A = this chain, B = another copy of it.
Amino acid sequence: MFPEERRNKIMTMLLENKRISVKALCEATQASEATIRRDLSYLEQHQKLERTHGGAVVLENISLTQEDSFSQKSLKLHEEKRRIAATAFHMLEENESLVLDAGTTTLELAKLIGDSNKHLVVVTNSTTVSQTIARNPNVELYAIGGRVRLNTLAAVGNMAMEALERFNVRKAFIGVNGVTIDNGLTTPDLEEARVKYQMMKIASEVTILADHSKFKKVALCEIAPIGRIDRIITDTQLKETIVSQYSQYDIEVICV
């Protein structure tokens, strides 16, 4: 068995079980432990796996809070979210009013607002967004109350819906989990979907923040049909053919 052949086999076996022991690899390849270890060392140096005492495990990107341990891909996706948020931020004019929902991309926007001096009126149902935006003393901040979903820290339910009704804002920035022409905008949780829809209703201009991975995906609950929105900000990896489809519905697609 050639060295490369053996390394391929190692990777195959590793990906099957997410883990693999040196012993199992010796059996499978009929090579000595020393050879296997050398292979594992090599593969680790080439960022193909992570060695551990007794074997190896697949590279995982755990830790949502620790950004340094993010894998290449999710780091990149994060970079894209930041660019999307930055574009949205630059669309904001002085003294404009906006509503922000809960989500990772909108949180990025919140960070930009929080670290700026822009005068804004912000409405949000997200505890996290509130706290972030509060760093900017020039913001007039309105928190939407209601039952709090603990995993997203967003207020939902009737109270949130009614509270939102009282506001009228210029722009809405909404994060979603799925975007398609046929199924429109979708998200996994029904109550959050309703809140997001309500946010759209109270805004004169609706902008969706969604990186390319959200397109052609359908989540469980519909927020609104695609015709309900005015603009999507996404990243440059979105195919031109998809962009043009949305243009037919009078939706401005901004790729950054």
Contacts and interface: CB of A to CB of B under 8 A. Distances in A.
Contacts of A62: 8, 11-12, 15, 48
| SS of A interface (majority) | mixed
A55 B153 contact: no
Given A11-B63, A163-B145, A4 B140 contact: no
Q: Kindly state the interface size class of chain A when it binds its partner.
A: 35 or more
Nearest to A122: B148
A8 B66 contact: no
Contacts of A3: 52-53
Given A63-B131, A135-B66, A145 B144 contact: yes
A202 to B, nearest CB: 14
Nearest to A131: B63
Q: How many copies does the complex hold?
A: 2
16 contacts: A2-B19, A2-B21, A2-B53, A2-B56, A3-B52, A8-B60, A11-B62, A15-B63, A15-B64, A63-B135, A66-B135, A131-B131, A131-B153, A142-B147, A143-B147, A143-B155
Interface in A106-157: 125, 127-128, 130-132, 134-135, 137, 139-148, 150, 153, 155
A133 B19 CA distance: 26
Per CB-CB distance, the 8 closest pairs between chain A and chain B, nearest first, are A145-B145, A4-B52, A11-B62, A141-B148, A2-B52, A63-B131, A144-B145, A127-B130
Contacts of A146: 142-143, 145
A59 interface: yes
A102 to B, nearest CB: 12
Interface string A54-81: 1111111111111001000000000000
A166 interface: yes
A19 B147 CA distance: 22
Given A64-B135, A145-B145, A145-B159, 16 more contacts: A2-B54, A3-B52, A4-B53, A11-B62, A63-B132, A66-B131, A127-B130, A128-B131, A130-B153, A131-B131, A131-B153, A142-B146, A143-B143, A143-B147, A145-B146, A159-B163
Nearest to A129: B127
Contact of A134 (B53, B66, B139, B140): B66
Interface string A194-230: 0000000000000000000000000000000000000
Contacts of A11: 62-63
Contact of A145 (B47, B150, B155): B155
